[in-house]
Structure 1
Amino acid sequence: MSYIDGFVIAVPTANKQAFIDHALNADGVFADLGALRVVECWGDDVPDGKITDFARAVQATAEETVVLSWVEWPDKATRDAAQKTMMGWMENPETADPRWDNERHPMPFDGARMIFGGFAPLVDLRPGEATG
């Protein structure tokens, strides 16, 4: 079964195009490393909650937009191997994949406020497709 990496970030609204450019680079690397699908979603209807919400979770300001993204991998092993290439950049930049270089491809958002994690799907409903 597939494996999902999920991300929530706050992107300065003025940096929307820079975010798209950054995402196209990173998403291309994910695809090269075996991702089946990458989805980047610009917040459009993200309400304030009474107790918590997406904006509070990433400490978004009024000048930022919440972005929800996910990467679908064929399995956790493929995801783990891809993640090693990202971590490799921090551990040994001389031998790491240069496409992860934040100096060449700076993040147009504060990565310290990113929420991320890996998830094993429990239910995957695809109306119209046969299930087994």
Structure 2
Amino acid sequence: MAHYVDGYVVPVREAQLEAYRALAEKAGTVWREHGALQYWECVADDVKPGKLTSFPQSVQLKDDEVVVFSWIVFESREHRDTVNAKVMDDPRMKDMMDPASLPFDGARMFWGGFKAIIEM
């Protein structure tokens, strides 16, 4: 059975990385409690600007920022939709996601849902 993955790329100020990590850990707990199979948050370690496109260019990375690449694994798109609805209704998420207090620039974040075609 192929899984479904939501992927996210977000710029985070290096000075806010620990605050982002703490927020992501709380959010990941909520997603897992509501049924997500896996929750990953990864900070860029070896990403360079490209000639046409790259992770840094995709989020218009500033000098004091780092790219964070994240993904959440679900059983299927339908499962993702069910889990995400529960997550968005969870009061813990509402408390965490006030745009004024987020430790990242949500306007430059991008995301999407992906159906797995190979799993090894």
Give the TM-score normalised by structure 2. 0.89
Is the contact made by 1:34 and 1:74 (CA closer than 8 Å) also made in structure 2?
no
Equivalent position amino acid for 2:109 in 1: M
Residue by residue over 1:15-74, the C-alpha shift from the partner in whole angstroms, topping out at 9 and shown as x without a partner, is 111011000111011101111111110111111101111111111101000000000112
Matched residue count: 117
Q: Which has the higher contact order (CA 8 A, sep 6+)?
A: 2
**Is it true that 1:23 corresponds to 2:24 in the alignment?**
yes
**Is it true that 1:46 corresponds to 2:47 in the alignment?**
yes
Give 1:99's aligned residue: 92
Distance across 1 between alignment mates of 2:40 and 2:84: 17
Give 1:67's aligned residue: 68
Give 1:77's aligned residue: 78
Greater Rg by CA? 1
Distance across 1 between alignment mates of 2:67 and 2:20: 12
Give the TM-score normalised by structure 1. 0.82
Aligned-pair identity in percent equals 38
- RMSD between aligned residues: 1.8
Show structure 2 runs of 5+ residues with no match: none
**Is it true that 1:121 corresponds to 2:113 in the alignment?**
no
Show structure 1 runs of 5+ residues with no match: 89-95, 126-132
Higher helix share: 2
